[in-house]
Chains A and B, each alone.
Chain A
Amino acid sequence: MSATSKHALGFRVIAECSKTKGRTGVLSLPHADVETPVFMPVGTQGTLKGLLPDQLEKLNCHLILGNTYHLGMRPGPEVLEKAGGLHNFMNWKKALLTDSGGFQMVSLLELSEVNEEGVKFVSPYDEREILLSPEKSIEIQNAIGADIIMQLDDVVSSTVSGPRVEEAMHRTIRWLDRCIKSHQKPQKQNIFPIVQGGLDSELRKKCVEELVKRDVPGFAIGGLSGGEAKDMFWSMVHITTDFLPPKKPRYLMGVGFAVDLVVCCALGCDMFDCVFPTRTARFGCALVDSGQINLKNRIFAEDFRPIDEQCTCTTCKRYHRAYLHSIVTKETVACHLVTVHNIAYQMSLMKSIRDSIKSDKFPVFVQEFMLKVYPKKDYPKWVTDALAAVNINLQ
């Protein structure tokens, strides 16, 4: 399959941008070959917001994310094991990635407590106390059977600083070793470690140095996109990708806004996930190059244009804004229609990025894209700074 053949993953960089750190490649996974940079929609509970798996495939979406915390609760690892894994259970033929469950616990559950053993929490379903240890996380992820699985990490909010951040970084490394040790299916499932270290470049560097000592198929960048200042966000991404080995895929967790995606591709990230495009669809918000439009707005009541005239998705080919306006937030059909469009938007954005890198026109693409988003050229400072750091001048 590739240079890292002892893993169930191959990563081949096809083209690199001559100016930025952007690159495009193919990630070969047991269930699909996935072109990078890739956006992975989030299908939390073994389904993606009412879409048929077939619809996702038609949208050229070949890698989606499932949440270990939710799937571990319902239907639970026993059912998934008996079903022959999540692929079989939900009838998804392409690739899957699961998170470790840790992030969800810390963010969703007030009662969680973290110690060296793992994350302790009280089940919201039956109020039992449950311990999610690194071993338990991997056990559930083995039952789910995703192509890529995540180590359990010690998640600290990106707005926290001080010794807790360093403790979490060291614990994350210790937990990685426990995860790798308990991983039952390394020939079928690829485990990614998670780079932690908060907003401290020294800690991030130290963390990467430790992680690369382990034989892992790829890396995730965690602990960002959690409300920290944008200039801290991009500089941490920038530093981390500088330290990471170039031949392995880099997954930037929790990033999915169009501007962030374009900037972080320029900073050398390959994989992204975010609930935003599908979550916002539920509220009638459709993604367009200028940002998003809220179809609930009365100005669309007699607007007979599709969401985006350029878009080739099944929603834009058949439905106009006026009808969508009349059903958004009321009918499930509206949610499905906007979700299809929003996923198509994300997929098409990533394809444009890949194509422009292949033809070495990525810097021009970035400039044109930013001009569409900010037609008055009122670029946020962090965007200008981040792009300048990789030799793209927006002025």
Chain B
Amino acid sequence: MFTFGSLLILRRKYLRKQLLARTMKFSVLQQGPDESRLGNLSELWKDSEKIGDFQTPLCLLYSRAGSIPHLTNEVLQYLNKPIIPVVFPLPSIVGLIEPAKKYGHGIGKFVGLEEYPVYISVQDPVEPAPSGYNDKSGISVWSTGGRVRLNVDQFMAAVESFRPAFYQVLCDSDTPQDSSRKRLTHSVERSLVHLDKCLEKHLRSDKLKNTAVFGSVVGGFSPDARKKSAMQTVLRPVDGFVIDGFHWNNSDLGLLNTFEQMLPILKETVTLLPSDKPRVLHGVLPPDMILEAIKCGIDLFDASYAFAVTERGGALMVPVSIGNSPGNILIKDGLKPLNSHFKYEIDLKNEIYREDFSPILEGCACYTCRQFSKAYIHHLLNTSEMLAFVLLMLHNLHNFLSFFSIIRELISKGELDKLQF
């Protein structure tokens, strides 16, 4: 690990860079109940143009292989929502490092999403990353072509060719719930070494002079390891934090259980972070867990949940308007939750929708609900037609993003406590 002296040098370089360069800004506008807050993210840089403001808590769009799943740029515009930064999970774009470098205009333009600020996460919130493939020199990510090893140099070269507005620094977040003490120590210490090496390169890079960098707080489910990781990471000159290493991926049906064990640790960890910098939590998280995480002080999430629901033929039914009883989940006939965490969706593959010509969610302003019926989407799912997933993705994304709008509105009115699941 780096000495205190070298840390000072790093910080000095960072401060100098802060004076010269223009990177992302974040400010807390209003404090809500518990640790929740309404924030503002601005000056995300895309080439020489700055984009913002984005109010937090914010759901970033989730992409895989460079596209919002099932939605071409043309169809994405039917979402009818303002531009939001897009998460590009590194595993799904690792094959594009070389072509993007030759292309030279960044990954956003490379994949036809040039209007959207790019954020790169180290792992994919949806795809499970097998355990046991990280070592001292670097980490492994799993692309469709198999395992790809990345050390700091390769990682930073990738970041330079992708030219994101902000990115999560290389980290070892391979800490399943049953991790040994040794594994947790490795995760924390190696992540800090990676962070320092990445920062060295980052601060020297001309290509990344407008790019914001997020450090990773790791340490799995150990409060001690988390504390050490958080306290060391905050000493580094980073623009934000990703709370990583909770391994949602590998715990599909045990998510709720995992979440309950995670929550006190998350709460504790966030209190160690400076309040003037944004915090990210990735994962396929349903609305109630999102709300809990927001109350722990998380600002940024990703829309992988909307994607996961779409993939199983589900349609989200989160109430999207603040009426007399905000947060009152619509339980309609046919809302048959498969288990406790599918409670926000209906299963459109169900035969009961065969002749149901009403929209997915009455009053939903999304393109799908304005134009198509449950019966039609049921038919498309039944015949394995791709349009089913296009229409579901449009609705689910719209619904999930609207849920975040409601949360922001409630915080600004000082009424977040009214939202209960």
Q: In the complex the two chains form, is B355's CB within 8 Å of A74's CB?
A: no
Given A337-B72, A340-B72, are A327 and B387 also a contact pair (CB < 8 Å)?
A: no
In the complex, A322 Cα to B73 Cα: how many Å? 16
Given A45-B383, A90-B376, are A302 and B78 also a contact pair (CB < 8 Å)?
A: no
**Chain A residues whose CB sits within 8 angstroms of the CB of B382 once the complex forms:** 74-75
**Chain B residues whose CB sits within 8 angstroms of the CB of A304 once the complex forms:** 102-103
Residue A174 lies at the interface, judged by CB distance under 8 Å to chain B = no
Given A52-B78, A326-B95, A336-B386, are A75 and B379 also a contact pair (CB < 8 Å)?
A: yes
- Chain B, residues 348-377, CB within 8 Å of chain A (1/0): the string is 000000110100000000000001110110
In the complex, A315 Cα to B65 Cα: how many Å? 17
Residue B206 lies at the interface, judged by CB distance under 8 Å to chain A = no
Given A55-B74, A301-B99, A326-B95, are A79 and B112 also a contact pair (CB < 8 Å)?
A: no
Task: Please give the distance in Å from A348's CB to the nearest CB on chain B.
Answer: 17
Task: Please give the distance in Å from A379's CB to the nearest CB on chain B.
Answer: 37
Q: In the complex the two chains form, is A327's CB within 8 Å of B66's CB?
A: yes
Instruction: Give which listed residue, A82, A89, A326, contacts B66 with CB less than 8 A.
Output: A326
In the complex, A319 Cα to B112 Cα: how many Å? 6
Residue B110 lies at the interface, judged by CB distance under 8 Å to chain A = yes
- Chain B, residues 383-413, CB within 8 Å of chain A (1/0): the string is 1011101100000000000000000000000
Residue A332 lies at the interface, judged by CB distance under 8 Å to chain B = yes
Task: Please give the distance in Å from B145's CB to the nearest CB on chain A.
Answer: 10
B77 nearest in chain A by CB position = A314
Task: Please give the distance in Å from A392's CB to the nearest CB on chain B.
Answer: 38
Residue B144 lies at the interface, judged by CB distance under 8 Å to chain A = yes
Interface residues in A39-61 (C-beta closer than 8 Å to B) = 45-52, 54-55
Q: In the complex the two chains form, is B75's CB within 8 Å of A52's CB?
A: yes
**Chain A residues whose CB sits within 8 angstroms of the CB of B383 once the complex forms:** 45, 70, 74
Task: Please give the distance in Å from B179's CB to the nearest CB on chain A.
Answer: 32
Interface residues in B102-117 (C-beta closer than 8 Å to A) = 102-103, 110-112
**Chain A residues whose CB sits within 8 angstroms of the CB of B163 once the complex forms:** none
Residue A381 lies at the interface, judged by CB distance under 8 Å to chain B = no
**Chain B residues whose CB sits within 8 angstroms of the CB of A314 once the complex forms:** 72-74
Task: Please give the distance in Å from B126's CB to the nearest CB on chain A.
Answer: 14
In the complex, A304 Cα to B96 Cα: how many Å? 13
Q: In the complex the two chains form, is A75's CB within 8 Å of B354's CB?
A: yes
Interface residues in A68-92 (C-beta closer than 8 Å to B) = 70, 74-75, 79, 82-83, 89-91
In the complex, A296 Cα to B373 Cα: how many Å? 36
**Chain A residues whose CB sits within 8 angstroms of the CB of B99 once the complex forms:** 301-302, 322-323, 326
Given A322-B103, A326-B95, are A340 and B65 also a contact pair (CB < 8 Å)?
A: no
Interface residues in A123-163 (C-beta closer than 8 Å to B) = none
In the complex, A47 Cα to B391 Cα: how many Å? 12
Q: In the complex the two chains form, is B110's CB within 8 Å of A91's CB?
A: no
Q: In the complex the two chains form, is B103's CB within 8 Å of A50's CB?
A: no
A322 nearest in chain B by CB position = B99
Residue A331 lies at the interface, judged by CB distance under 8 Å to chain B = yes
Residue B17 lies at the interface, judged by CB distance under 8 Å to chain A = no
Q: In the complex the two chains form, is B371's CB within 8 Å of A91's CB?
A: yes
Instruction: Give which listed residue, A48, A49, A333, contacts B70 with CB less than 8 A.
Output: A333
In the complex, A52 Cα to B389 Cα: how many Å? 11
In the complex, A103 Cα to B352 Cα: how many Å? 32
Given A47-B380, A50-B386, A318-B112, are A75 and B375 also a contact pair (CB < 8 Å)?
A: yes
Interface residues in A300-341 (C-beta closer than 8 Å to B) = 301-302, 304, 314-315, 318-320, 322-323, 326-327, 330-333, 335-337, 340
- Chain B, residues 227-269, CB within 8 Å of chain A (1/0): the string is 0000000000000000000000000000000000000000000
Given A79-B379, A314-B74, are A50 and B390 also a contact pair (CB < 8 Å)?
A: yes
In the complex, A47 Cα to B71 Cα: how many Å? 16
Q: In the complex the two chains form, is B65's CB within 8 Å of A50's CB?
A: no
Interface residues in A12-57 (C-beta closer than 8 Å to B) = 45-52, 54-55
Residue B52 lies at the interface, judged by CB distance under 8 Å to chain A = no
In the complex, A74 Cα to B387 Cα: how many Å? 16
Q: In the complex the two chains form, is B385's CB within 8 Å of A45's CB?
A: yes
Q: In the complex the two chains form, is A52's CB within 8 Å of B96's CB?
A: no
Q: In the complex the two chains form, is B111's CB within 8 Å of A323's CB?
A: yes
**Chain A residues whose CB sits within 8 angstroms of the CB of B385 once the complex forms:** 45, 47, 50
From A55, A90, A304, A332, residue with most partner B Cβ within 10 Å: A332
Residue B64 lies at the interface, judged by CB distance under 8 Å to chain A = yes
B385 nearest in chain A by CB position = A47
**Chain A residues whose CB sits within 8 angstroms of the CB of B65 once the complex forms:** 326-327, 330-331, 333
Q: In the complex the two chains form, is A46's CB within 8 Å of B379's CB?
A: yes
**Chain B residues whose CB sits within 8 angstroms of the CB of A331 once the complex forms:** 64-65, 67, 69
Task: Please give the distance in Å from B127's CB to the nearest CB on chain A.
Answer: 13
A315 nearest in chain B by CB position = B72
A78 nearest in chain B by CB position = B355
Q: In the complex the two chains form, is B72's CB within 8 Å of A47's CB?
A: no
From A52, A90, A319, residue with most partner B Cβ within 10 Å: A52
Q: In the complex the two chains form, is A333's CB within 8 Å of B354's CB?
A: no
Given A322-B110, A327-B65, A335-B386, are A79 and B72 also a contact pair (CB < 8 Å)?
A: no
In the complex, A89 Cα to B373 Cα: how many Å? 8
Q: In the complex the two chains form, is A49's CB within 8 Å of B386's CB?
A: yes
**Chain B residues whose CB sits within 8 angstroms of the CB of A50 once the complex forms:** 70, 385-387, 389-390
Q: In the complex the two chains form, is A330's CB within 8 Å of B144's CB?
A: yes
Interface CB pairs A-B, < 8 A, 9? A49-B387, A51-B387, A54-B78, A89-B373, A314-B72, A314-B73, A314-B74, A327-B65, A332-B70
Instruction: A304-B102, A322-B110, A333-B71 given; name 18 further pairs at CB < 8 Å.
Output: A45-B383, A48-B387, A50-B386, A50-B390, A52-B75, A54-B78, A75-B354, A82-B355, A83-B357, A302-B99, A326-B66, A326-B96, A331-B67, A332-B69, A332-B70, A333-B68, A333-B69, A333-B70
The 9 A-B pairs at the shortest CB distance, nearest first, are namely A50-B386, A333-B67, A47-B387, A314-B74, A318-B112, A75-B379, A45-B383, A319-B112, A47-B385
